[in-house]
Amino acid sequence: MKRYLQVIWAVLWKDLRIESRTKDVFTSMAVFAVLALLIFNFAFELRVPDKAMVTPGVLWVTVAFAGVLGLGRAFITEKDKGSLAGLLLAPVDRSAVYFGKMLANLLFILVVELFLLPLITIFFNVPLITPALLLILLLGTIGFAAVGTTFSALAVNTRAREVLLPVLLFPVMLPVLVAGIRSTIGLLEGDTLADLGNWLQLFLFYDLLFLVVAFLTFDYVVEE
Amino acid sequence: MTTDPLIEIAGLQKAFGRHRVLRGIDLAIPAGSAIALYGPNGAGKTTLLRILATLSRPTGGSVRVAGVDIAANPEGIRQHLGLVGHAPLLYDDLSAAENLGFYARLYGLPAADARIADLLQRVGLYERRRDLVRTFSRGMVQRLAIARALLHDPAILLLDEPDTGLDPQAAERMTALLRELGGSARTILMTTHHLERGLDLADRVLILAGGRLVFDASAATLDAAGLRPLYDHYVGTGAA
C-alpha cells in the first residue's frame, strides 16, 4: 500500500512540477474559460432579463468545456513525448498512475474554478463564493476528473483523440452537469445543503462509481 | 549455478487486428547473456520488446521470467526490467536529477539520492544535473535514459534501437556506456539496425523476419562482414 501511495504522489508531484514551469494546462483552460464567460456575458445581456437565471448553467458549462482542454492534455503529452511507457513500467498496479493523474487533473480544474468564480460573480452579479457552492463544485469536479482522466487515457491511443474525448465524456458527464446546475440553482434560491440531499447523494454515488470503475479497468484502458 | 533460462518465450504471437506481427516465437535466454536482435522495420522487434516489458499483451503463447508468467505477475516482473527505447521516457521540463528522482519514487528506491548522483557521474551528466532535459543534446538525453533504465538495477535490460538519432560519436559513447554499465550479470536484449554495434555488445545474435526468428547463432563465431551476407539472405539485401 505504501508503494502504491508513493507512485500516486510521484505522478502527482511530477505533473504539478511540470505545470508550475510550463503553465500550459492552466493557461489554456483559464484563457478558454474567460473567453467563454465573455461570450456568455454579451450573449445573455442582449436577450435574458435576469442574468442570474442563467448563471448556474454558465458556471458548469464553462467548467466542463475548459476542463476538457486540461483533461485532453493529461495523456496526450505523455503519449507524444513517449513518456507514457515510463509510467506504465512502474512496478505497481497501474491504477496508481491513474489516481496520480486524476488528482493532478482535479487540482488543475479546481484552480481554474477558483479563478473563474470571482469573474462570474462580477460579470453576472451573483454571489457564488459560498462554502456550500464550493462543496458542490468540489464534488462535481471529482466526478468530472475521475471520468475525464479515464477517457483521456482511452482516447490517447486513437487517431481522433482530441475529438473523441469530449464525444465520450459529455454524455457520461451529463448526470454530474445536471446535478451541478440543479444544486447551484437551489443554493442561489436559498436552499441549504440539507435541502439538496438527493443531489449530493448523486454526486457521491457518481464519484465513487467512476473511481472504482477506473481502478478496475485502467490497466486495460491504457493498453494498445 | 542454475541452467534454467531467465526468459522463456514459447509460441509467442501478436496480432493487431488482422495483421500478425509475431507468428510464433520460441526463445530461451539464459541469465547474463547479451543478445542482439536484428530485423528490418516491421519485423516485430519493438513488439517483442514491448511484450517482454509488459507494455503489450500477447495474442498467443507465453513469456516467463525466472519461471513466472509475466501475465500472472506483471508488477513483479517490471521491478526487474529496464527499458531504453526510441523515446527516452524522460520529461523535458524536469531537470536530469528530477527525472531520475521521479523514477526512483516510481520504483520505491531507498537512498535514491546517492544512487542518482552515482549514475549521473557515470553517464557524465552530474555537472548538468540541475539543467532541464530540454536543454540537452540527443546524445545526452540518451545517456540519461540509460541512467534511468539502470536506476533500479534491473536484472534485464531491454534496448530498443537505443542508437536511433545519434551521431556516430554519440552512438559509440552510448555503446561504451552500455558495455560498462550493462555488467556481466545483467541480461541484455538489444534491437538494432547497426550490425557492428550489436555484435560489439552481444554474445548471441538473432534475426527476426516476418514475425519469426529465422537465425540464431553465437556472436563469437561472427563478425560484421560475415553477418552482413547472412542478414541480407534472411531479410533481403540492403534492409539493415
Taking an 8 Å cut-off on Cβ atoms, the answer to whether A89 and B102 are in contact is no
Whether B24 is in a domain gets the answer yes
Q: What is the grid cell recorded at B231?
A: 542478414
Q: What is the grid cell recorded at B49?
A: 520488446
Instruction: Indicate the residue of A17, A18, A90 with minimum beta-carbon distance to B106.
Output: A90
**How far apart are the C-alpha atoms of B226 and A97, rounded to whole Å?**
47
Whether B218 is in a domain gets the answer yes
Whether B203 is in a domain gets the answer yes
**How far apart are the C-alpha atoms of B196 and A161, rounded to whole Å?**
40
Amino acid code (one letter) for A100: G
The reported pLDDT for the residue numbered A147 is: 93
CA distances from A150 to A203, B56, B58 (A): 18, 19, 23
**With an 8 Å Cβ cutoff, is A1 touching chain B?**
no
**Element housing B84 (H / E):** strand B81-84
**How far apart are the C-alpha atoms of B121 and A13, rounded to whole Å?**
25
The reported pLDDT for the residue numbered B183 is: 67
Structural domain harbouring B54: 2-77+197-240
Cell 463564493 sits on residue: A129
Instruction: Give the bridge partners for B27, in sequence order.
Output: B9
Contacts of A220 in chain B (CB under 8 A): none
CA distances from A149 to A68, A217, B17, B183 (A): 10, 12, 26, 40
Taking an 8 Å cut-off on Cβ atoms, the answer to whether A85 and B85 are in contact is yes
Taking an 8 Å cut-off on Cβ atoms, the answer to whether B55 and A85 are in contact is yes
Q: Tell me the shortest Cα–Cα distance from B122 to chain A, in angstroms.
A: 22
Instruction: Give the bridge partners for B115, in sequence order.
Output: none
Taking an 8 Å cut-off on Cβ atoms, the answer to whether B91 and A81 are in contact is yes
Q: How many residues does chain A have?
A: 224
For the entire predicted model, the pTM comes to: 0.88
The reported pLDDT for the residue numbered A224 is: 65
The reported pLDDT for the residue numbered A46 is: 66
**How far apart are the C-alpha atoms of B131 and B92, rounded to whole Å?**
10
**How far apart are the C-alpha atoms of A128 and A219, rounded to whole Å?**
39
Whether B171 is in a domain gets the answer no
Give the end-to-end CA distance of chain A in Å, rounded to a whole number.
27
Whether B18 is in a domain gets the answer yes
CA distances from B188 to A106, B149, B191 (A): 40, 12, 10
Q: Tell me the shortest Cα–Cα distance from B215 to chain A, in angstroms.
A: 29
Q: Tell me the shortest Cα–Cα distance from B134 to chain A, in angstroms.
A: 12
Helices (H), chain A: 2-22, 24-47, 55-81, 84-88, 95-124, 131-155, 161-188, 197-221
Cell 480544474 sits on residue: A109
Helices (H), B87-223: 96-106, 112-122, 138-150, 168-182, 195-201
pLDDT in tens, chain A (224 residues): 888 999 999 999 999 999 999 998 999 999 999 999 988 888 877 666 777 788 899 999 999 999 999 888 888 888 888 888 999 999 988 999 999 999 999 999 999 999 999 999 888 888 888 999 999 999 999 999 999 999 999 888 887 787 888 888 999 999 999 999 999 999 988 888 888 889 999 999 999 999 999 999 998 888 76
Instruction: Indicate the residue of B54, B87, B105 with minimum beta-carbon distance to A10.
Output: B105
Q: Tell me the shortest Cα–Cα distance from A224 to chain B, in angstroms.
A: 7
Whether B116 is in a domain gets the answer no
Window B:156-215, CB contacts with A under 8 Å: none
**How far apart are the C-alpha atoms of A92 and A82, rounded to whole Å?**
20
| C-alpha torsion angle, residues B81, B85, B87, B91 (rounded to 10) | 30
The reported pLDDT for the residue numbered A223 is: 77
Whether B146 is in a domain gets the answer no
Residue B36 φ/ψ, nearest 5 degrees: -100, 125
**With an 8 Å Cβ cutoff, is A16 touching chain B?**
no
Q: Mean pLDDT, consecutive 10-residue segments, chain B of 240 residues? A: 77 90 92 91 90 92 91 90 90 95 93 91 91 93 91 92 79 79 81 85 90 89 83 69
Q: Which residue of A has its CA nearest to B104?
A: A10
Q: What is the CATH number of the domain that holds B216?
A: 3.40.50.300
**How far apart are the C-alpha atoms of A200 and A188, rounded to whole Å?**
16
Whether B142 is in a domain gets the answer no
**With an 8 Å Cβ cutoff, is B107 touching chain A?**
yes
When divided into structural domains, chain B yields a total of: 1
Contacts of A87 in chain B (CB under 8 A): 106
The reported pLDDT for the residue numbered B1 is: 44
Q: Measuring CA to CA, which residue among A210, A91, A197 is closest to residue A154?
A: A210
Window B:87-106, CB contacts with A under 8 Å: 87-94, 98, 102-103, 105-106
b/e code B53-62 from CB counts within 10 Å (16+ = b): bbbbebeebe
**How far apart are the C-alpha atoms of B129 and B120, rounded to whole Å?**
7
Q: Which residue of B has its CA nearest to A83?
A: B89
Contacts of B85 in chain A (CB under 8 A): 82, 85
Contact B25, A191 (CB under 8 A): no
